[in-house]
Amino acid sequence: MRDILYPPVIGFAKTAFKVLDLGFTMVGTENIPRTGGAVLALNHISYVDFVIGGFGAQPSKRLVRFMAKEVLFRNRYSGPLMRGMHHIAVDRGAGAGSYREAIRYLGEGEIVGVFPEATISRSFELKEFKSGAVRMAAEAGVPVIPMILWGTQRMLTKDHPRDFSRHQRVSITVGEPMAVGKDEDATAATARLRTTMAAMLDRTIKASPDKPAGAWWLPASYGGGAPTPEEADRLDAEELRERAARRRK
């Protein structure tokens, strides 16, 4: 796949990281294969997870093709970037086409980035996972690479003002490749992936030196002020109702 736009976008992002003096803690990036197809499964806590998650594949010199909402491809600003970097548009009302596109990419040896939670987690803990990541991996005969991001929620997430102040820290933790058999039950494989990523998230949070009690960006189960998963589900449901009401109007 010919990439004209992706390399300069990466260069721009790296320059921005230096300007912001963004501190990275990267663990396990050697688990991202240097060749061949793979599904990269990431947790989702921020609107900048695409950028930071893609950066986590740079030590292996890989480019990640993210599956993202179709609306981003129609936007006058983000659309040319998303198409130029060969990301995959996902129409939630008709997802078969994007699924087949991802399978094709995997067969061509690409890394496809997927957020199994589908939406940003307001609790900053893992939501329930969709099964698409493991189903794609099984069909394409490639591994799933689990990745945990931490700290990105402090920059830009739901319900909070953006904060791109300098000297912030971000953690990227990459787990060992997970094989998914073609005959393996997708529900069981998805549960296995979620359990693995939950343990990775726990280790990443506990290893972070910055965990002030009551901080809005710290999960409630770690003494933070973020909504509990149950409260986050309620907020998500309210958001969906408001969107539906706006569409009706």
Residue 186, amino acid: A
Per-residue pLDDT, averaged over 92-114, amounts to 93
Q: Are strands 23-27 and 111-114 parallel, antiparallel or unpaired?
A: unpaired
As a whole-number percent, the residues of the chain with pLDDT over 70 amount to 100
At 79, the pLDDT band (50, 70, 90 cuts) reads: very high
For the cut 90, the answer to whether the pLDDT of residue 249 exceeds it is no
Confidence check: pLDDT of 121 > 90: yes
Q: Grade residue 92 by pLDDT with cuts at 50, 70 and 90.
A: confident
Percent of the chain's residues with pLDDT above 90? 94
User: Using an 8 Å Cβ cutoff, are 225 and 218 in contact?
Assistant: yes
Q: What is the pLDDT of residue 33?
A: 98
CA–CA dist 36, 43 (Å, integer): 22
Task: Return the pLDDT at 150.
Answer: 98
Confidence (pLDDT) at 62: 98
pLDDT for residue 248: 86
Q: Angle 160-126-45 (CA atoms, 0-180°, nearest 5)?
A: 30
State the pLDDT at residue 158: 98
Q: Has residue 94 got a pLDDT over 90?
A: no
pTM of the model: 0.96
The residue-averaged pLDDT of 45-60 equals 98
Beta-bridge partners for 144 = 39, 178
Tell me the pLDDT band of 146, cut-offs 50, 70 and 90. very high
Question: pLDDT tens-digit profile of 182-225?
Answer: 999 999 999 999 999 999 999 999 999 999 999 999 999 999 99
**186: which 2 tokens?**
């997708």
| Tokens linked to 25 | 């803690």
CB-based contacts of 16: which residues, under 8 Å, 6+ apart? none
> In the chain, which ranges are continuous DSSP H helix?
6-19, 49-55, 71-74, 78-84, 96-107, 132-140, 186-207, 229-248
pLDDT at 108 over 90: yes
Specify whether the CB–CB gap between 27 and 173 falls below 8 A: yes
* pLDDT for the residue 208: 95
Phi, psi of 83 (to 5 degrees): -70, -40
The full set of domains in the chain, from first to last, is 6-214 (3.40.1130.10)
Residue range 61-84: mean pLDDT, rounded: 95
Average pLDDT, the chain: 96
- Band (231; pLDDT cuts 50, 70, 90): very high
At 12 the pLDDT is: 97
Q: Is the pLDDT of residue 167 over 80?
A: yes
